[in-house]
Amino acid sequence: MTRIDKDLKQAKELLLAGQLVAIPTETVYGLAANALDEKAVLNIFKVKNRPTFDPLIVHTHSFECLQDFVTEIPEKAQLLAEKLMPGALTLLLPKKSNIPDLVTSGLPNVAIRIPKHPLTLQLLQSLPFPLAAPSANPFGYISPTTAQHVADQLGDKIPYILDGGTCNIGLESTIIGFEGNEATVFRKGGVSIEAIEAIIGKVQIQAHSSSNPQAPGMLKSHYAPKTPFYLGNIDELLTKYLLQHPENQAIKIGLLNFIELKNYKHLTHNFTQEILSQKADFSEAAHNLFAAMRRLDDLQLDVIFAELLPEQDLGRAINDRLRRAAV
């Protein structure tokens, strides 16, 4: 069985021995191993049940250290790094040969970031190698934002979970790549597009595709709960669903709302509601999103209905996750 604790020494020893350790970051928990050790990295793919064509993010503790693993840093990447690292930003940069091809799935760029979590920064500083770490969930499921979330799903498969509390941001990092003078966001995440554009001007945003593995984190069905999950106007979704199930008063319904409790006129059934932010705060909603989705998913409900947030600030990244969770 896995142990959950705050013991940095224990985490370090296991990682030095080529084992996997779940680590806290400000975005979501990661499933970490020595990024320079192919055998350890292969084990990450196995434990997550992740296809090896989906590359991993490399984590380092400083910009100086990051430079050991990339051959080039375009000016826009440099500007972003100065303002947003450590933080919820991942840069796609041309890799040096010290990064195994397995980490990048054979791609020429490595995804690299400096997480902003005191425990994990300390851990990275104490290690002689960077850590490859995808989110610590089974492939395709909702990312973990507490140590317990990790234990619930990977507990029997990994020896140690470093407990750094609840993730502050609660959404994965924003992934950005560079070509010529253009910057493209490949995954919306914990740093908003607005914050990025305030530093480097207009960026492209890559739409997601269901099949192209070269487009990072872009597999359409991802972050998906087990319960059927529908997205849209909740009143309309409810009306339609209840018309399709006229006899069944025993249906159990989950509602995922951004703000206040709405009075759903059709709803005479039992329902459970999660509200992401009573005060309509995007950061608070992001912080609560994955835990709320998990709570609903754990209730053996028949169906979950969710509504989109306004397309601004972290609302955009939250909507991206909701769309990919939806059937």
Contact segment (CB under 5 A) with Mg ion among 130-138, 197-205, 231-239, 303-311 equals 130-138
CB contact at 8 A, 128 and 13: no
Residue tagged 């669903």 (tokens) = 241
**CA torsion through residues 157, 211, 304, 170, sign:** positive
227 binds ligand TXA (CB under 6 A): no
57 binds ligand TXA (CB under 6 A): yes
92 binds ligand TXA (CB under 6 A): yes
With CB under 5 to 8 Å by kind, the binding choice for 24 among ligand TXA, Mg ion, none is none
Question: For residue 154, what are its two tokens?
Answer: 């990977």
285 binds ligand TXA (CB under 6 A): no
If one counts every other C-beta atom within 10 angstroms of the C-beta of residue 83, the result is: 14
- Dist CA 248 CA 185 (whole Å): 45
- Residues that bind Mg ion (rule: CB under 5 A) add up to a total of 1
135 binds Mg ion (CB under 5 A): yes
Distance of closest approach, residue 87 Cβ to ligand TXA, in angstroms? 10
User: Which residue, 104 or 192, is less far from ligand TXA as judged by CB?
Assistant: 104
Nearest to 193 by CA among 317, 309, 282: 317
User: Which residue, 135 or 206, is less far from Mg ion as judged by CB?
Assistant: 135
With CB under 5 to 8 Å by kind, the binding choice for 173 among Mg ion, ligand TXA, none is ligand TXA
30 binds ligand TXA (CB under 6 A): yes
- Dist CA 55 CA 53 (whole Å): 6
Q: Which residues pair with 114 in a beta bridge?
A: none
- Dist CA 281 CA 147 (whole Å): 25
Q: Is 185 helix (H, G, I), strand (E, B) or coil?
A: strand
Question: For residue 23, what are its two tokens?
Answer: 């680590």
- Choice from 34, 74, 172, 288 touching ligand TXA (CB under 6 A): 172
- Choice from 21, 27, 203, 304 touching ligand TXA (CB under 6 A): 27
Binding mask 95-114 for ligand TXA (x = CB under 6 A): ---------x--x-xxx-x-
**Helix or strand (DSSP H, E) at 282:** helix 282-297
- Choice from 74, 87, 130, 134 touching ligand TXA (CB under 6 A): 134
Distance of closest approach, residue 233 Cβ to ligand TXA, in angstroms? 30
Contact segment (CB under 6 A) with ligand TXA among 55-63, 149-157, 225-233, 278-286 equals 55-63
20 binds ligand TXA (CB under 6 A): no
If one counts every other C-beta atom within 10 angstroms of the C-beta of residue 125, the result is: 11
Separation in Å, CA 263 to CA 78, 271, 302, 326? 49, 12, 20, 23
With CB under 5 to 8 Å by kind, the binding choice for 216 among Mg ion, ligand TXA, none is ligand TXA
Nearest to 66 by CA among 111, 22, 105, 30: 111
User: Which residue, 63 or 271, is less far from ligand TXA as judged by CB?
Assistant: 63
With CB under 5 to 8 Å by kind, the binding choice for 54 among Mg ion, ligand TXA, none is ligand TXA
CB contact at 8 A, 223 and 325: yes
CB contact at 8 A, 167 and 11: no
Nearest to 207 by CA among 318, 88, 320: 320
Separation in Å, CA 72 to CA 107, 121, 137, 168? 15, 24, 32, 31
206 binds Mg ion (CB under 5 A): no
288 binds Mg ion (CB under 5 A): no
User: Which residue, 113 or 149, is less far from ligand TXA as judged by CB?
Assistant: 113
Interface ranges with ligand TXA (CB under 6 A): 25, 27-28, 30, 54-57, 90, 92, 104, 107, 109-111, 113, 115, 133-135, 172-173, 175, 216-217
List contacts with Mg ion (CB under 5 A): 135
